[in-house]
Structure 1
Amino acid sequence: MHFGLHRPRKALATVAALLLLSGCASTSPSGAFGDVRTDVAKRSGHDLRWDRNTAEDEEARRAIDGLFAKELTVDAAVQIALLASPHVRTKLEDLSIAQADLVQAGLLKNPVFSIGQTAWESEHIDPNVFVSIEQDFLDIVTMPARKKIAKAELEATRLDVGDAVLELAAEVRTAFFNAQAASQVVAMRRLVAEAAETSAEIAKRQHDAGNMNDLSLATEQALAAETGLERARAEAEAAVAREELNKRMGAWGPRTNWIISQKLPELPPVEPPLESLESRAIADRLDIEAARRQVQALDSAVSLAKATRWTGSITVGLQAGRLRNSKHLSFGPSVSVEVPLFDQRQAAIARLEAMRRQADNHLQELAIDVRADVRSARARVQTARTIVETYAKVVVPLRERIVALSQLHYDAMLLGVYQLIAAKQSEFDAYRTYIDALRDYWLARSDLERAIGSRLEPVRPAAAVKETP
């Protein structure tokens, strides 16, 4: 078959243009990251940055140092984590991988160029050399479907990354409240230990002066030793809690020398509305939406696999050789079709269908778990608030009054030292329980916000991190 040169050139130009267009897609994940940043800001009120060695990264580092220079708050700790945590940067790289997969889905396979020499055609072609170029035709036809699947997977990845960032924010809040409660307990234990040591010293002087018997002295000294051990134990627990917060924030070196308020925040005057939180969670949770997108991607993958199960691969080629007796080139098309005799993609389709059912079941399981988590956290918030209010308004004031009355009775020699010590210990225990209850309230509130996928109260849009003056 012989053709003029203009037709092959036109065909080659068309193929070249298609190849060029398929390679123009950007591998930069900046668009997907912008969406993640918006999702995080909308749900948490915090700004998210991706440290990729740009001028903005130095600005973010200065902002981090500025936050560490002040007394650390829970919002500052979360903001630091979103700017500095290696865990966040690790998750953000999933966007680069998914974006690269999307670009790859929009690329054609490279054409195959062949050159060969044939002895049996030596009478017709001079020299007896032919060249050919082949392209997978099915690869061109299925490109839109592949891009649709990759786009859905990128969207699912984007949502999954946003959810992971919000999960870290919740972990930071938990670590912060634990560290703050531990710090408050340490402050209380130090005061108790100092008072016990002072009391033991006074008791020693009274004993030396003959005004106190051996039993009373030993009791005071034992109490001082025990309160000293409680102080050491509280300091160790505070150190552990502090390092847990450092891990979540991604802090190390000089940045671990932060200071934190030694008192947990008091209860808010009123609770925000706690109705309709389950439906809000189903609508707002990024991981649920990511699971939905994953189901959509697998639906498309199953449809593509079924549509191409009987076609196999189709390769279209063009061969060329120069005729011996003229200056014309001889062109000949070629088509190679895979015959699906043994493999009709039945295994691949079955695997994809199982993955789709698995993804659908995971979505249902996740929705059930989220609803249960919301109900559980809401009950914990309500119970914790009741406990805190009872301790603050009833138990602690009563214990303080009991100690004051016991001291009066002891001074009047109407009460023994053991009863006075027991009254003081009960007061310390009540105050410690109050701190624990207040911590549990803020932890439960943080868990509830994590369960619904956003803050309980409306958040202000996250402002971009600015350079500290």
Structure 2
Amino acid sequence: MESPQTGQVSTSDLYLMPALDEAILKSPRASAIRSLLPIAKSGYLQATVMPNPSFIYLQNFKADQVKEVGASIPVEPPWKLAFRLLAAKRQITQTDLEIVQNLWTLRADVRRAYLDLIIAQEMSALETELAGIFRQFLDAAQEKYKSGAVPQIEVEKARLATQQAEIEVERQAQRVILARQHLNIIMGRSVDAPLAVPRLHTVIAQSEQSKLLPDFAHDVRPLSEFIAEAMEYRPQLKVIQQTIKTNGANLTTAFGNIAPNPVLTFGHLTANDIGPTNGITKGYWAGVNVDIPVFDVQQGNVARLRATIKQLKCELEAQKNIATDQVAASYRRLLIARQVTRAYQERVLATSKTVVQMTKESYQYGRSDITAALVAAQLNIQTQTQYLTAVSEYQQALTDLEQAVGKPLE
């Protein structure tokens, strides 16, 4: 069943790593990505294609009435087949790396969708908590009004704040449903499939904290280490490096194709003799036809592939520059979000709750008015919202840093 307040469902909680695994295995997006590999592997069959032989039949109906029956067989040098197989192998490796790159991007999308659901769930809980506090203030204001301790305006202020909070509760509940549907879809489940994720306080108490929240027991490694890892593991760099190798293999194939394919022809000949004595002459014939590489020496393919390789080398350096920039930016955002999250966990959240509790007691005993009480409650929720924003920014920075580096950082 679905809660009208939080949009939660009564099912076992789904943690981050199982969600990532399920998406990679069952998502139709992942299936579409993996289906690229059989297409690349078909290149092996294409590489083994040899020139077809030809059948020759010649009939002269006049004069000597020559009839020839034979065959024409192209003979391809063996290195051409070897070069094509090498190029096909390079292309398969390139496709495999492209699949890894696309799956890596899908992993980041799933992680962001999971975090969106976590944050939406927490925001819904905060709005529900705020609405509950305002109802308590409304009840207290009504009791005081009945006893003549406060004017009616205080009751109306509390009622207005409660009504506004209830509207936000419904809005946040719909956002939870939206976030759950998005995660279901990207994981390959049905839109309305039961799905629940743990509350943030549960995550903090378990080993999953290292996957969603900063681990303050360990310092963040230096930036230089992340940059070095990006140069080694980043999928975009691997794809470009392999593309250079693939084009190099194609260039070798182009050079190999300069050599012509000799064509062997042979057959049987039958002819009527024209002369003093008529008769039939039979015999065999054979020949060789070889193209001379004068005008076509693969100059177009060679020039194109050389220019492509040069451009790819420039692109590789550009991607290294982009990777360094993305790693540095994500790293700095990670440190900022980590520092803010720690401050909220260690100081701000506890202080905010203390202020709310003191305000409740102060209003109950008549030492403050309803306006101060409502402002304090709203400030507490605002503080917790800012904490959730810091958690979200930390996760976004961590996800971006993982994407920039090209490997999990847990």
TM-score band, normalised by the shorter chain?
0.7 to 0.9
CA distance in 2, matches of 1:169, 1:202: 50
For residue 409 of structure 1, what is the aligned residue in structure 2? 362
In structure 2, which of residues 76, 80, 89 is the aligned counterpart of residue 142 of structure 1? 80
Structure 1 residues 117 and 157, CA gap change in structure 2 (3 angstroms): same
In the alignment, structure 1 residue 356 sits paired with structure 2 residue 309: yes
How far off is 1:339 after superposition?
A: 5.6
CA distance in 2, matches of 1:305, 1:82: 39
For residue 5 of structure 2, what is the aligned residue in structure 1? none
In structure 2, which of residues 189, 198, 201 is the aligned counterpart of residue 251 of structure 1? 189
CA distance in 1, matches of 2:68, 2:167: 93
Give CA deviations for 1:112-149 in whole Å, capped at 9, x if unaligned: 334343346855x5xx24232232636x5422122222
In structure 2, which of residues 317, 324, 329 is the aligned counterpart of residue 371 of structure 1? 324
For residue 262 of structure 1, what is the aligned residue in structure 2? 199
- Note if contact 2:16-2:111 (Cα within 8 Å) is conserved in structure 1: yes
CA distance in 1, matches of 2:143, 2:369: 19
CA distance in 2, matches of 1:207, 1:337: 107
1:49-448 equivalences in 2 (<5 Å): 70-119=12-61, 122-123=64-65, 128-135=67-74, 137=76, 140-204=78-142, 207=145, 212-252=150-190, 256-263=193-200, 265-266=203-204, 267-271=214-218, 274-275=221-222, 276-306=225-255, 308-309=257-258, 311=259, 313-323=260-270, 330-337=284-291, 340-341=294-295, 344-448=297-401
Secondary structure, aligned partner of 1:454:
coil
- Note if contact 2:180-2:195 (Cα within 8 Å) is conserved in structure 1: no
CA distance in 2, matches of 1:287, 1:114: 53
Secondary structure, aligned partner of 1:130:
strand
CA distance in 1, matches of 2:347, 2:366: 28
CA distance in 1, matches of 2:61, 2:79: 37
- Note if contact 2:123-2:385 (Cα within 8 Å) is conserved in structure 1: yes
CA distance in 2, matches of 1:136, 1:226: 85
Counterpart amino acid of 1:270? A
For residue 51 of structure 1, what is the aligned residue in structure 2? none
- Note if contact 1:106-1:144 (Cα within 8 Å) is conserved in structure 2: no
CA distance in 2, matches of 1:386, 1:168: 28
328-337 vs 151-160, greater mean Cα deviation: 328-337
How far off is 1:72 after superposition?
A: 0.4
How far off is 1:400 after superposition?
A: 1.9
- Note if contact 2:37-2:96 (Cα within 8 Å) is conserved in structure 1: yes
CA distance in 1, matches of 2:196, 2:303: 57
Structure 1 residues 71 and 404, CA gap change in structure 2 (3 angstroms): closer
Structure 1 residues 119 and 314, CA gap change in structure 2 (3 angstroms): farther
Counterpart amino acid of 2:14? L
Normalising by structure 1, report the TM-score.
Answer: 0.74
CA distance in 2, matches of 1:114, 1:360: 50
How far off is 1:98 after superposition?
A: 0.9
CA distance in 2, matches of 1:383, 1:154: 42
- Note if contact 2:138-2:158 (Cα within 8 Å) is conserved in structure 1: yes
How far off is 1:216 after superposition?
A: 0.9
- Note if contact 1:179-1:242 (Cα within 8 Å) is conserved in structure 2: yes
CA distance in 2, matches of 1:327, 1:192: 111
Give CA deviations for 1:406-441 in whole Å, capped at 9, x if unaligned: 334333433222112111111110011112212322
CA distance in 2, matches of 1:414, 1:195: 18
- Note if contact 1:92-1:161 (Cα within 8 Å) is conserved in structure 2: yes
For residue 210 of structure 2, what is the aligned residue in structure 1? none
Q: Report how many residues are paired.
A: 382
- Note if contact 2:11-2:194 (Cα within 8 Å) is conserved in structure 1: no
Structure 1 residues 228 and 171, CA gap change in structure 2 (3 angstroms): same
Counterpart amino acid of 2:198? S
Structure 1 residues 329 and 209, CA gap change in structure 2 (3 angstroms): farther
Secondary structure, aligned partner of 1:142:
helix
Structure 1 residues 230 and 217, CA gap change in structure 2 (3 angstroms): same
For residue 47 of structure 1, what is the aligned residue in structure 2? none
CA distance in 2, matches of 1:392, 1:440: 15
How far off is 1:402 after superposition?
A: 2.1
CA distance in 2, matches of 1:272, 1:449: 17
List runs of 5+ in structure 2 lacking aligned partners: 1-9, 205-213, 272-278
Structure 1 residues 113 and 279, CA gap change in structure 2 (3 angstroms): farther
- Note if contact 2:44-2:88 (Cα within 8 Å) is conserved in structure 1: yes
Normalising by structure 2, report the TM-score.
Answer: 0.83
How far off is 1:190 after superposition?
A: 1.4
How far off is 1:151 after superposition?
A: 1.2
Give CA deviations for 1:175-225 in whole Å, capped at 9, x if unaligned: 111211111111221122233234435544654665542311210111011
